[in-house]
Each structure stands twice: as C-alpha cells, then as structure tokens.
C-alpha cells in the first residue's frame, strides 16, 4: 500500500523509493530521519538488534542516593560504549551497553528520578477519519507529500555555479575544446565514482553544507526535525542513543560519506519481536510515532514537510511486511499523526529548548536532564503511568469520511 494513501488519496511522487534503497535524488532530503541502527553506513529505520544470545545479559542498578545529575552522567558514560563513534557498531559491547542504558532509564523512572520517560500524554487509540485530522488542523497532503524546496534551490545554485566554472575554463583556455571536454569528463567521473563508492554521499555532503550557508532557515528546519524525533521518542518510551545534526557532523563522527544526520535509539527489543513474529502493539505504536515525528514537526512549524522521506518509507515498508489491511494501516498512521501532533503542540516550548541544546552539541544525558527539569512540577502534562492516554480526546467529527 502507498503510505500516503493511508491519509489521503493523491499522487505521491517519491513513494516509489520504498521499493528498495532510496535513490540519491532524495539522499539529502532523507537526512532528516531517525535511525534504529548500529551500522554507521545504514540509513532509515533499520532497527537495532542485540545480536549475541550467548553473551550473558547485563544488569545495572541505581544507588538510593542517586540524583538526576548523576543518572544523566552515568547514562552518557554507558551510551558512549553503545555508540563508540561507530567502532562498536553491531558489537556485543555496543548491544550490551544499549541494554544497560535502557535498564538504567527504567530504574531511574521506577526510583522517581525521571518522570517524563515514556509518560507523554497520548491520544486515545482508535481509527480516526480524514475529517478528524483536518478538525485538528492537520492537512495530510502537506504532511506526507514533501517538496524539498530548500535543497532544490541549493542544488540549482550549485549547478549554476558549476556551469559558470565550466564557462570560465572555456574562456581562459581560449575556448580550447580539449580542455573543456577534459574538465567536463573529470567532473562527470567524480560524480559517478561518488555514486558508486558512496551512494552519492559526497554530493549529499556538499549540498547539505551549502544549504546551511545559503539558506539559514534550512538549518533551523533540520534542527527542529531531529529534536522532534528525540523528544517524541523520549516521551513515548524509546531511549535516544546518539544523534548527528548534519551530514558534515555525521562524516566527522563516523568517517564515512554514506552516513547522514539523524537520531539513533536504543531498541534491541523491537527487531527481536519482529524476528520472532510477535510484534506488540506498544512497540508498533512507538515505532510509528518516532518515524513520523520529523515530518509532523516540519508541518507544524513550517506548514509543509520537506524532509523525512526515508522515515515515512520505512514505516510504509513495516506496515506492508505486517500485511496490514488498508483500513488497519489507516488507523495506525492517522492515530500516530494525531498523537505526535498533540505531543509537539503541548511541548512546543520544550521542543525549542531541546533543539537549541542539540544544535549546540549537548550530550544525550544533558538533553534528558533538560527535558526532565523542564517538565518537573508539570504533572498535568504527564501520564501517571507509561503509555497512558490523555483525558482529552482530539476534536472529533460526526461526518463520514472515505477510508
């Protein structure tokens, strides 16, 4: 099923990328995505998995005199092993570190050190209609049909500059056809080599970096997008592991050109459930909300989503793999959109603060502390238990809408 048909029956020019690895024409657009993967070179929502069943499961506990500060420091120390700047990706050490980090967060929640982890107020789970989305000020056609105007503009500028450079070569060489042809051939070879060796990562890095210089609003969009993934994940109970905020940031950390910006999460249990063929509804709900957090963020803040193609495509692939009927997929996606929109609207100020902290390079522990301190004393914004729903339902409509 085309995921966009879940929300609105209209053409979707980019959804064909779900049939396989997305083409490079969307590479930079996909950078605003979340990652469930240890593998530094892997994109999208490939889920993290704890790969060694033979290794004894780790355990951890908090002392009675622990504080939020000491918890966040301990969390950062563990997550450093989980991330390992890519060196422990997929290793037993990285997998066990993720397990320890999740155990630590759950222990901190049980001890009362953290109150917001997994306790964001969520809307009631049921099938919502298109009319109900619109009543809640969500326009599906603008949410899941991204038009990447920012990077298209940057790409056009770069192509114009390249054409001007070629003209300059022609002029200063006295219009020597051999030199002009040689320059053009060399540039074409570099682009082709980048596509083969790096899946277009070099070009994506250049365009993304230029975009931040030429269009400052693009950088703000990306920052809010990633902060949206982080905040929603934490509120629905998925612990962030690390994040990068640009293609250059990702390159400097992982030393690979085919790595893009995004949030990574600790969720070894998710793929374990998928592999066992017993995916719980709570895991699917978390996955759906985190996957859509970026595009919903961009829609709420800018009126139109540009990035997040990979996120949406991966959710589409998951629903296909689960063999959801159209009606069931409708219900899952529409609920997730409304739930994420409600959470982001409710925590808009916190979202801004988190985005600023992430842009400054704050650690995951520091971001967690920021969230917890901001929500301290705001019990009305949190559920009594993890996964509880809001007492207030979204605006509803009695009108009948096509499914």
Positive or negative, the CA dihedral 76, 77, 79, 85 is: positive
Q: Does the pLDDT value for residue 15 go beyond 90? A: no
DSSP structural state of residue 20: S
Q: Does the pLDDT value for residue 283 go beyond 70? A: yes
By C-alpha distance, which of 273, 272, 279, 307 is closest to 291?
Answer: 307
What is the C-alpha separation between 269 and 66, in angstroms, rounded? 27
What is the C-alpha separation between 70 and 370, in angstroms, rounded? 14
Neighbours of 398 (CB within 10 A): 7
Look at 311 and 358; give whichever has higher pLDDT. Answer: 358
Q: Does the pLDDT value for residue 153 go beyond 70? A: no
Cβ density class 332-357: b for 16+ within 10 Å, e for less: bbbbbbbbbbbbbebbeebbebbbeb
The predicted model gives 211-222 an average pLDDT of: 77
Note whether 298 and 306 are within 8 A (CB): yes
pLDDT band at 63 (very low <50, low <70, confident <90, very high): confident
What is the C-alpha separation between 119 and 105, in angstroms, rounded? 13
Q: Which residues contact 96 (CB under 8 A, 6 or more apart)?
A: 50, 55, 57, 58
In the beta sheet, which residues pair with residue 263? 34, 243
Q: Does the pLDDT value for residue 167 go beyond 90? A: no
DSSP structural state of residue 119: -
Look at 2 and 270; give whichever has higher pLDDT. Answer: 270
SS3 per residue for 182-236:
HHHHHHHHHHHHHHHHHCCHHHHHHHHHHHHHHCHHHHHHHHHHHHHHHHHHHHH
Q: Does the pLDDT value for residue 238 go beyond 60? A: yes
Instruction: Retrieve residue 68's tokens.
Output: 């939020």
State pLDDT tens for residues 369-397. 999 999 998 988 888 877 666 656 676 65
The total number of residues written for the chain in this structure: 403
Provide φ and ψ at 392, rounded to 5°: -105, 125
State pLDDT tens for residues 73-86. 999 999 988 776 44
Neighbours of 118 (CB within 10 A): 24
CA angle 224, 138, 403 (to 5 degrees): 130
Determine the pLDDT at residue 394.
73
Determine the pLDDT at residue 213.
65
Q: Is residue 240 helix, strand or coil?
A: strand
pLDDT band at 346 (very low <50, low <70, confident <90, very high): very high
Q: What is the largest CA-CA distance in the chain?
A: 79
Q: Does the pLDDT value for residue 212 go beyond 70? A: no
Q: Does the pLDDT value for residue 348 go beyond 50? A: yes
């Amino acid at each position: 099923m085309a995921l966009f048909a879940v929300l609105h029956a209209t053409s979707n020019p980019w959804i064909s990328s779900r049939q396989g690895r997305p083409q490079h024409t969307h590479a930079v657009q996909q950078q605003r995505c979340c990652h469930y993967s240890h593998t530094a070179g892997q994109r999208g929502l490939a889920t993290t998995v704890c790969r060694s069943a033979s290794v004894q499961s780790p355990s951890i506990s908090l002392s009675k005199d622990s504080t939020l500060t000491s918890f966040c420091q301990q969390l950062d120390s563990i997550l450093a092993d989980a991330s390992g700047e890519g060196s422990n990706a997929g290793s037993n050490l990285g997998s066990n570190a993720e397990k320890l980090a999740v155990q630590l967060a759950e222990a901190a929640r049980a001890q009362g050190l953290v109150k917001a982890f997994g306790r964001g107020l969520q809307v009631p789970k049921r099938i919502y209609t298109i009319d109900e989305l619109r009543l809640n000020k969500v326009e599906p056609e603008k949410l899941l049909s991204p038009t990447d105007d920012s990077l298209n503009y940057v790409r056009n500028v770069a192509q114009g500059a390249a054409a001007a450079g070629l003209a300059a070569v022609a002029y200063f060489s006295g219009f020597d056809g051999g030199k002009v042809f040689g320059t053009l051939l060399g540039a074409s070879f570099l682009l082709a080599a980048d596509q083969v060796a790096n899946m277009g990562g070099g070009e994506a890095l250049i365009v993304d970096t230029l975009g931040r210089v030429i269009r400052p609003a693009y950088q703000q969009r990306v920052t809010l997008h990633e902060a949206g993934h982080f905040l929603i994940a934490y509120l629905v109970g998925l612990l962030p592991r690390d994040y990068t905020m640009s293609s250059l940031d990702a390159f400097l950390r992982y030393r690979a050109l085919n790595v893009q910006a995004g949030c990574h999460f600790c969720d070894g249990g998710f793929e374990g459930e998928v592999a066992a063929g017993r995916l719980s509804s709570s895991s699917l709900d978390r996955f759906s909300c985190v996957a859509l957090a970026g595009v919903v963020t961009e829609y709420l803040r800018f009126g139109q989503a540009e990035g997040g193609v990979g996120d949406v495509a991966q959710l589409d692939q998951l629903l296909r793999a689960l063999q959801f009927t159209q009606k069931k997929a409708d219900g899952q996606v529409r609920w997730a959109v409304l739930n994420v929109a409600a959470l982001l609207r409710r925590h808009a100020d916190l979202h801004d603060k988190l985005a600023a902290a992430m842009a400054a390079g704050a650690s995951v522990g520091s971001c967690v502390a920021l969230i917890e301190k901001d929500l301290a004393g705001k019990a009305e914004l949190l559920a009594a238990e993890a996964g509880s729903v809001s007492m207030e339902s979204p605006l509803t409509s009695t009108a009948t809408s096509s499914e």
